[in-house]
Structure 1
Amino acid sequence: MDTMYAAVVLLACIALGELVSSLTRARIPSLLVAMLAMAALTQTGVFPASIAKASMFVGMATIMQPAIMVHMGTLLPIASLKKQWRPIVISVAGMACATLLILLVVGLVFGYGTAVAGTGPLVGGIVSTLLTTEGLTSAGLTTLATIPTLVLMLQALPAMPLTALFLKSHARRLIDSGEVRVERDPDTGAIQLSPEAQAEADRRVLVKLPASIRDNQLVLLFMVVAGGGLAMYLQGLTGVSYSIWGLALGIACVWTGVLPRASLEKASGFSLGMVAIIVVVAVPLMGASFSQIVTSLGAVVLILGVGMVGILIGGAVATKLLGWDLRLGMPVALTAMFGFPGDYLITTEVARTSSDDPEMRKSVQDRILPPMLIGGFTSVSAGSIVIASILVKTL
């Protein structure tokens, strides 16, 4: 298929998702609409499953995904990071409860092997899915090897709309209660920064970049992509996921002054990078055969249902014990079912539709984005890999 036509078709699906999300004020997440549109076009035969590869977005994602992880680190307000231990506790509680329920309920109905096949992917992402599939194959359970992929493909469908609903309610509460607000000078109308934002603005950095670098988009793009390359190198060196290294490098670069906040956006490279990653996320859904889906559908539906209930129960208990708002704790726990980029996309959609005031939208995003990213990294990038590694050894 021609590269240009393939790129236009996939971009049209993503643009459709953005329009639907905007019209529904984030009640329907754009990522969900885009993935379903891409899957519908390939599953019905309108376009071949190779459309993603033909578009070149898959290759682009290989470069941009580590860079975007660095960018995510530059988004986190350093002054508020010390407060982000609660999302870790909530995420771990949700994963633990989901794991126990899946092993118990799905194990009784379909057998222990099927339960193991679905647990790692449900509370994680691509890495835990690969670990689980390899473990099943090594154990001779090749008939179950399609289950991890199907769970990975479908796990976001029930979780993303519920996450958006919870987050919208939380954002509205933040605004209505006055917890986030935009202070303006009564005489000049200038925006007065919150104490956290003022502390961030006044923070001294080790490196003061000259304007020729700070304002040069191509130089910034190089620096962020180079940071992503370093994260990949460190993954190979240490075995720790590049996503964690990328996040840490982004935080460190902002703290030292090597990179500005929201670096990839300032380099005008973020949107195209996100397009590439969305396409990669949708690839399994576009490539699965109908017979694969039908054969394993019963087990997959039960795994999704039981796992989601477990995540909600574990997350709710931890949220209540920590004294947090359930409307924020539940989305943090549910990030286990979609991770990045879903956690970022849904959060920014909710913030974007929370107010007509751009500064208010930014304040809302600054409040809800850090816990969502931390929750997603805890489950998808770390916790799920540990769970999958342990469970496959018990087969």
Structure 2
Amino acid sequence: MSQMVALVLVLLILYIGDFVSVRTKAWIPSVFISAMLFLIGFWTFFPQNIVEIAGIPSTVATMVMYLLVVNMGTLLSVKELMAQWKTIVISLSGILGIIVILFAIGSLIFDMNTVIVAIPPLVGGLVSALIMSEGAAQAGLTSLSVFAIVIYVMQGFAGYPLTSIVLKREGKQLLQKYRNGELALKTTTKVEEDPTQAKNGFKLFQVPEKYNTDYFKFLKLAVVGCLAYLTSVFLAPVVEINGLVLCLVFGVIAKSIGFLEQHALYKANGFGFAIMGLMLFIFDGLKSATPNMMLEILTPLIVCIILAVIGMYIFSFIAGKILKVSKNLAFAVSLTALYGFPADYIITNEVIKSLTNDEKEQEALTNHMLPPMLVGGFISVTIVSVILAGIFVGFL
């Protein structure tokens, strides 16, 4: 298959996902439809490396991931991160729910190794899935080695539509309050240039607008991403910190001191391409889920995902009640463990756009719903899942 044919096919799938999402007003998320079509493609006529043929090898995916995560940091302020402590507690509560329910109920249905292998990938990270897969293979558990990868690939099929449903409920309630003047939301996530922004930060980092080209914006994003990576390497002998976690932190800091603009990747005209590249790389993981593998692990796959969702709902509901966070938003934050970034970003924006066409209302909803979704995804997928994998793999 030629590169351009492959590119047209994968982009057609992404567009069909968008089309269905628009037609259904985000009740069926684009990522769900695209994942289904990729799965069908890999089971029929797609070459296993179609995404790489199309021009998105793993190296390109890593590059756009670093740029996107740094850019995410520019959407959050230090004050905002501190304000999201409730989100962190709810996210951790959802993860605790997965662990408790799977050990309490899952271990009665399946052997303990199946439960141990399932939990870290269910918390969301590709790295954790790979750790558990390798650990299971070394322990001679071949089917569980495949199970770890497939459960990571397939869990989004439960997370995508459920998240869309609860976010739409949350958004409708917020929108009604906003229109009635009962809820005042700060609008700090607007993409357009803030005329006061030039006055913020250190003058050392500011250049005349004629020199602030797209390449310069890309350069600054890359510098921040590079610093995050080098810091993670430097700290590796002492403590393992994922470079992407530091990208988020460094992005927040860079925005706070004026080195990066808010939504810098968007302003550099690279945001859409970066999202496309990363989504294609994620869907590329579906090539591992062959029909035979799916049949072999279908029952534990479905049961473990259902139990995980039940555990997240119960524990996030309790945490939300205690912290006075709506049950819909609390459950949505917990569900980010099933997919993480960029799906959390995409689903949230799809839902918001489906609820209102008014820019001010969209901005207000984005400010309330997007930060907790992003923070929740990073807590579970990027941080906790890797820690859990490092602990659980020792039990095999």
Relative to the length of structure 2, the TM-score reads: 0.91
**What are the Cα deviations for residues 357-394 of structure 1, in whole angstroms up to 9, with x where unaligned?**
12221221121111011101111111111222211212
Counterpart for residue 54 of structure 1: 53
Alignment equivalent of 1:223, drawn from 220, 223, 242 = 220
* Counterpart Cα distance in 2 of 1:200 and 1:74: 17
Letter in 2 for 1:49: Q
1:151 is aligned to 151
Tell me, yes or no, if the aligned pair for 2:187 and 2:363 is still in contact at 8 Å: no
Deviation (angstroms), 1:348: 1.2
Aligned pairs for 1:163-178 within 5 A: 163-178=163-178
Quickly say closer, same or farther: Cα 1:107–1:54, change in 2 above 3 A: same
Say whether the 8 Å CA contact 1:64–1:225 is kept in structure 2.
no
Match in the other structure for 1:326: 327
Matching residue of 1:309 = 310
1:327–1:179 CA distance, 2 compared to 1 (3 A): farther
The answer to whether residue 61 in structure 2 is matched with residue 64 in structure 1 is no
Residue deviations 1:3-23 (CA, integer Å, cap 9, x gap):
111111111111111111111
Instruction: State the distance in 2 between where 1:381 and 1:292 align.
Output: 27
Note the alpha carbon deviations across 1:121-178, whole angstroms, 9 max, x for none.
0012101111111221232322311111110111010111111111111112111112
Distance in 1 between the 2:179 and 2:226 partners?
39
Q: Please tell me whether the aligned partners of residues 77 and 366 of structure 1 are also in contact (alpha carbons under 8 angstroms).
A: no
What secondary structure, in the 3-state scheme, does the structure 2 residue paired with 1:393 have?
Answer: helix
C-alpha deviation, 1:237, in angstroms: 2.3
In 2 relative to 1, CA 294–193 (structure 1 residues): closer, same or farther, beyond 3 Å? closer
Write the distance in 1 (CA, Å) between the matches of 2:212 and 2:244: 26
CA offset digits 1:32-52 (Å, max 9, x no partner): 11111122122122x222211
Q: Which runs of 5+ in 2 are unaligned?
A: none
Alignment of 1:283-294 (within 5 A): 283-294=284-295
**1:336 and 1:379 in contact (8 A); partners too:** yes
Equivalent of 1:234, from 222, 231, 234?
231
Report what 1:188 is aligned to: none
Q: Is the 8 A contact 1:70 1:249 kept in 2?
A: yes
Instruction: Give the equivalent residue in structure 2 for 1:249.
Output: 250
Matches within 5 A, 1:22-33: 22-33=22-33
- Counterpart Cα distance in 1 of 2:157 and 2:15: 19
How far apart are the structure 2 equivalents of 1:258 and 1:147? 44
CA contact (8 A) 1:205 1:256 kept: yes
Partner Cα separation in structure 2 for residue 219 and residue 380 of structure 1: 31
Aligned mates of 2:384, 2:179 — CA distance in 1: 32
What TM-score, normalized to structure 1? Answer: 0.92
Q: Is the 8 A contact 2:189 2:367 kept in 1?
A: no
Cα 1:279–1:178 change in 2 (3 A) is: same
What letter is aligned with 2:166?
F
1:162 — aligned with what? 162
Residue type of the alignment partner of 1:216: T
* Counterpart code for 2:47: P
Alignment of 1:328-367 (within 5 A): 328-367=329-368
Number of the residue aligned with 1:110: 110
Which moved further from structure 2: 266-275 or 139-148? 139-148
Post-superposition CA distance 1:77-113 (Å, at most 9, x none): 4443321001110011111111121123222222001
SS in 1 for 2:342: helix
- Residue identity over aligned pairs, in percent, reads 28
Distance in structure 2 (CA, Å) of the matches to 1:108 and 1:236: 41
Task: Quote how far apart the aligned CAs of 1:320 are.
Answer: 0.9
Whichever residue aligns with residue 235 of structure 1, its letter is S
What is the SS of the residue equivalent to 1:102? helix
Gaps of 5+ in 1: 184-191
Q: Would you say the 8 A contact 2:76–2:371 is kept in 1?
A: yes
2:93 is aligned with 1:93:
yes
Following the alignment from structure 2 to structure 1, what is the Cα–Cα distance between the partners of residues 366 and 292? 42
Q: Is the 8 A contact 1:67 1:229 kept in 2?
A: no
Q: Is the contact made by 2:13 and 2:34 (CA closer than 8 Å) also made in structure 1?
A: yes
Q: Distance in 2 between matches of 1:89 and 1:214?
A: 43
1:369 and 2:366 aligned: no
Amino acid of the residue matched to residue 226 of structure 2?
Answer: G
State how far apart, in whole Å, the 1-side matches of 2:305 and 2:369 are.
26
Contact 2:150/2:288 (<8 A) preserved:
no
Matched residue type, 1:157? F
Evaluate the alpha carbon distance shift between residue 84 and residue 201 of structure 1 in structure 2; reply closer, same or farther with a 3 A threshold.
farther
Offset of 1:233 from its aligned partner? Answer: 2.3
Do the aligned partners of 2:102 and 2:304 also contact (CA within 8 Å) in 1?
yes
8 Å CA contact 1:214–1:260 kept in 2: the answer is no
Deviation digits for residues 259-287 of structure 1, max 9, x if unmatched? 11000000010111111111111112134
Name the SS for the 1:247 alignment partner: helix
Moved over 4 A (4+): 192-203
Partners in 2 of 1:345 and 1:194 — Cα distance?
Answer: 21
Equivalent in the alignment of 2:379: 378
- Give SS of 1:82's match: helix
User: Cα RMSD between the aligned structures?
Assistant: 2.5
